[in-house]
Amino acid sequence: MAFAVHLDVYDGPFNLLLQLISVEEVDVYQVSLSKIVDAFLAELKKLEQLDLELATEFLLIAATLVELKCRRLLPGNDDLEIDDDLSLFEARDYLLARLVECKTFSEAANELAGLESMAARSAARRSGPDERFDSVAPDLLAKISPQILCEVARRVLADRPIPVVATGHIHEDEITVAETLDLLVGILPSKGRATLRELCLGDLSKVRFVATFLAVLELYKREMVEFEQAENFSELVIIWTAELRDHLLVDVDNYDDSAALGAR
């Protein structure tokens, strides 16, 4: 069964859409990914059970679409430094190499499937030496006692411990969203306004940045700050707007079960 999409710019099978975008018959900007996803989910709900083939194919095409759209949404060459330009080319080459590689192995997989089904038409002789050779073949159970067998069974059948990846050696930064929030509430009221960069306190690690960003969002959700941004991609300014500071800091979601973002 093929999944069809109905959009303003395109109406037809989903997989064909990708092809048309590839040959620039359909403009990827005009394609609403969210509409496609919604339609697909609605389609899935109609099915009695999940069709894994269909779902996989959808995910693959949808992911490729997202990839395409991201690529095309990247700023034009005018805005880019030479280095960025080069890295863009590299990213593209890398992606192309990946696609070619995937296609190559999926072709090879077809070949293996063909070989296997051909080979399955022959059955191997497996009957082994007949009873006339019993005296020649050694008794493999000669040294095996019921006790040995039992001990082996006990070992093999024992519940095996669930393998756990030891993470003890990974350094964990102990920055939590709750702590960061606490910190921001200490700084922001007196400052009035600050950029996100300033709020990171000079620590530009990814963990610190993410924790600060989430904490700022949390404050926004609680209507304690406002945002200001002069234009797209310019620096984000956070403005303290709350009157009181005594009704917060409860139920802060750390966005992480273990409270630490560091391990990510």
Looking at residues 110 to 139 of the shown chain, list those that interact with other proteins (rule: CB under 8 A): 110-113, 115-116, 118-130, 132-133, 136-139
* 67, 78, 82, 230 from 75: Cα distances, Å: 15, 8, 13, 18
Show contacts with other proteins in window 52-71 (CB under 8 A): 56, 68, 71
From residue 94 to residue 113, the character string flagging contacts with other proteins as x (rule: CB under 8 A) and all else as - is: -xx-xxxxxxxxxxxxxxxx
CB of 251 to other proteins, least distance (A): 34
Question: How wide is the angle at C-alpha 58 spanned by C-alphas 52 and 64, nearest 5°?
Answer: 140
User: How many residues in the shown chain lie near other proteins by CB under 8 A?
Assistant: 75
Nearest to 64 by CA among 21, 25, 97: 21
Cβ(241)–Cβ(226) below 8 Å = yes
**Contacting other proteins (CB under 8 A), which of 24, 48, 83, 223?**
24
Decide: is 164 part of the binding site for other proteins (CB under 8 A): no
- DSSP character at residue 239: E
- DSSP character at residue 161: P
CB of 117 to other proteins, least distance (A): 8
How many angstroms separate the CA atoms of 212 and 209, rounded? 5
CB of 42 to other proteins, least distance (A): 26
CB of 194 to other proteins, least distance (A): 29
Q: Can you read off the two tokens belonging to residue 60?
A: 């693959």
